[in-house]
Amino acid sequence: MPETSRAKPLAFLLHWPWGIRGADRLSAAYIGKPMRDTIDPAARLAAFRAEIGDIPLTDDLQTRKAMSRDWSSVSPLLRKSLRGRIADAVAAPRNRTQIVTLIRAAVRTGMPLIARGGGTANYGQSVPLAGGVTIDFRHFSGIVAHDKTRVRALAGTNTDALDAELRAAGTELRIHPSTRHVSTLAGFIAGGSGGIGSIRWGLLRDRGNISAIKLLSIEETPREIELRGKDVLLAHHAYGTNGLIVEVEMPLEPAWEWRELVFAFPDFKAALDAGLRLGHEDALLLKVLSLQEWPIARLMPALGAVVPEGHTMISTMAAAQHRDEVVELAAEYGGRLVHDHAEGQGPYGEPLYRFCYGHSLMQVQKKDMKYTSVQTMFGGDDLRGQLLGLHPEFAGTMPFRLEFQKSQGKLVAVGSPLFLYESEAQMADVVRRVQASGAHVANSHTTSIRNVGMKTLTQADLDFTRAMDPHGLLNPGKVDLADETLATELDVSGWHFEEAQTR
Ligand SMILES: Cc1cc2nc3c(=O)[nH]c(=O)nc-3n(C[C@H](O)[C@H](O)[C@H](O)COP(=O)(O)OP(=O)(O)OC[C@H]3O[C@@H](n4cnc5c(N)ncnc54)[C@H](O)[C@@H]3O)c2cc1C
């Protein structure tokens, strides 16, 4: 793999035209609020079009509508609040030169830009909040370089296709989202948090899980910045607000043969104990570990029809050589094996991981769209005590879905009680009760980085955003909500990471 340029941590900030102090003159309020209220959108689009030559660009209404929605429609609140927010046009660049041309045109004409990959994100991440041109990155794809330890790929590379190619070479990504069949590599880095593989490797934000991110700044002559080490956190989970990602480098692991195993446990407590034990057994290679309390199995019959009435389900992907040990350990807690298939070969019609994480909610919404959840991370020194203490609050009314995973080296559980949405007040009450247990809740029903609360915005983040997007053109209103109609009443703590304040 060719050696890439190694930027010293934040060293590039010294090369801003105005230096760090000068940048501070731009107030924080400036981010996401370019001065273009007086501009006529049609005239602006005509001017933009005149700047970009033959780069594919359409203002067809159906295309604009389709490319202005994402999968955040799993949230009943976002389904409503993001309605009618539509891009002025959609561009589909094929190479880096075309991306640079689009950036230059945006700066010259004051056109907002919205980066978009597969459009599977939560929180309306790629929904334009103030119009503009959506850049469809899917045509900018392909592997740049890879060896047994690392892969570097273009931003719009589909994660499924990427992993298939890597597996053919005997390697695989450490972590991929449950939406991998649609999502892109840059979309995962800019919008995701972890997923399939996180039970072993932790969250994307854990040191070492993203090797490098290369971005272009939004300036008339875009600068190319390569982030490495802890600096990758600046662009990770930043919803495309601090530069356009052109390349990503990720660490690789040997490809394993995975078995999809589903167990039925007589009750929640037995399943929880089995899940905690499996999650702590670091010598067992697992790729996903998900617990779903009855009646969730009944709500997703393709997978759960074999689960007996009243039973809690544990779904796991285990390396084939550890299948027997996992079955043995589950049995010690009363777990009965009800599914046992090669990866992607189960009779439920899609990979097992598409019944876990956010996909679990999507599956039960096939029964009733009103099902919803609150995005919780349970952790701390007594995870078992915390969950067993909280469980009676919801038992019999709101069943739990939990994925066990690592975060900063510790076992945590992410998930939620599942419930039928009635009102924002009801949702706020669930948040309050869950947080009273000491758990941390993010707001998956709003759209700005700060309000979602999955990323702690430090001064370094704000400085970086100002440096990379000095004209505030990247989806204005996405860092801090400029439009209060998109706010919710949910009083969430946000997810907390010990390291977040030390950057
Ligand atoms: C049902 C469901 C299940 C999910 N499961 C998971 C999961 O297991 N793990 C997980 O982490 N996430 C998950 N997600 C969230 C999302 O699907 C993933 O993060 C996915 O990888 C996003 O990729 P995408 O290409 O679809 O990104 P998009 O939705 O297109 O974009 C996501 C964000 O990235 C930005 N972006 C895209 N391309 C670029 C670029 N080139 N430069 C700068 N910014 C860019 C966009 O502006 C947007 O803010 C889930 C969501 C849903 C609805």
What pLDDT is recorded for position 19? 29
* Helix ranges (DSSP H) in 240-373: 268-280, 296-299, 301-304, 323-332, 357-365
**Domain covering 258-442, topology:** Vanillyl-alcohol Oxidase; Chain A, domain 3 (3.40.462)
Among 472, 473, 495, CA closest to 376:
495
**Ligand 1 pocket mutation, candidates 116, 136, 234, 372, criterion most atoms within 8 A of CB:** 116
Q: Is the CB of 126 under 6 A from ligand 1?
A: yes
Asked if 212 and 248 count as a contact pair (C-beta separation under 8 A), the reply is: yes
What is the Cα–Cα distance from 118 to 184, expressed in whole angstroms? Answer: 6
Kindly report the protein residue whose alpha carbon is nearest to atom 6 of ligand 1.
177
What is the reported pLDDT for 499? 63
Site to probe by mutation for ligand 1, drawn from 140, 178, 416, 465 as the one with most ligand atoms within 8 Å of Cβ, is 178
Helix axes 41-51, 96-109, angle to 10 degrees: 140
Q: Say how far apart CA 93 and CA 412 lie, in whole Å.
A: 40
Locate CATH 3.40.462.40 in the chain.
258-442
The DSSP symbol for 132 reads -
Closest residue by CA, ligand 1 atom 52: 358
CA of 239 to the centre of ligand 1 (A): 8
Distance of alpha carbon 470 from alpha carbon 474, whole angstroms: 10
Q: Which residues pair with 225 in a beta bridge?
A: 215
Give the C-alpha separation, 233 to 204, whole Å: 9
Please give the number of the atom of ligand 1 that sits closest to the Cα of 478. 49
- The beta-strand segments (E) located in 184-257 are 212-216, 224-228, 244-254
Which three-class secondary structure state does DSSP give residue 131? Answer: coil
- CATH 3.30.43.10 boundaries in the chain: 17-138
Q: What is the pTM of this model?
A: 0.92
pLDDT on residue 378: 95
What pLDDT shows up at residue 493? 85
Contact criterion met (CB below 8 Å) for 323 and 278 = no
Query: Tokens 């909610």, residue?
Result: 361
Structure tokens at 162: 């990427």
Whether residue 217 contacts residue 468, with contact meaning beta carbons closer than 8 Å, is answered with yes
Nearest atom within ligand 1 for CA of residue 243: 43
CATH number, domain 17-138, options 3.90.1150.10, 3.90.1210.10, 2.60.120.260, 3.30.43.10: 3.30.43.10
- Token pair for 20: 């760090």
Spacing, Cα 335 to ligand 1 middle (Å): 34
CA distance 55 to 86: 20
- CB crowding 377-391: b at 16 or more within 10 Å, else e: bbbeeebeebbeebb
- Position 276 scores a pLDDT of 98
Could you tell me the mean pLDDT of each successive run of 10 residues in the chain, 503 residues long?
Answer: 41 36 31 54 96 98 95 86 93 98 98 97 91 98 97 98 96 97 98 97 97 98 97 97 98 98 98 98 98 97 96 98 98 98 97 96 95 92 95 95 96 96 93 93 88 90 96 93 79 78 52
Terminal C-alpha separation, the chain:
29
- Pairwise CA distance, residues 236 & 125, whole Å: 13
How far, in Å, is the centroid of ligand 1 from the Cα of 395? Answer: 32
For position 37, what pLDDT does the model report? 53
Q: Is the CB of 359 under 6 A from ligand 1?
A: yes
State if residue 124 touches ligand 1 by the CB under 6 angstroms criterion: no
* Number of Cβ atoms within 10 Å of the Cβ of 348: 21
Cα four-point dihedral sign 318, 322, 323, 325: negative
Rounded distance, CA 349 to CA 366, Å? 15
23 SS3 class: helix
- Residue 183 CA, ligand 1 centroid: distance in Å: 6
User: 419-420 and 371-372 as β-strands: parallel, antiparallel, unpaired?
Assistant: antiparallel
Which amino acid is located at 308 in the chain? P
Rounded to the nearest angstrom, the distance between the alpha carbon of 180 and the centre of ligand 1 is: 9
Query: What are the respective helix, strand and coil percentages of the chain, to the nearest 5?
Result: 35, 20, 45
In angstroms, rounded to a whole number, what is the distance separating the alpha carbons of residues 70 and 124? 6
Q: Which of 124, 187, 128 is closest to 488 using CA atoms?
A: 124
pLDDT for 2 equals 42
How many angstroms separate the CA atoms of 350 and 101, rounded? 40
Residue 165 parent element (H or E)? helix 159-168
Q: Is 193 in the pocket of ligand 1 (CB under 6 A)?
A: yes
Q: Supply the pLDDT for residue 503.
A: 54
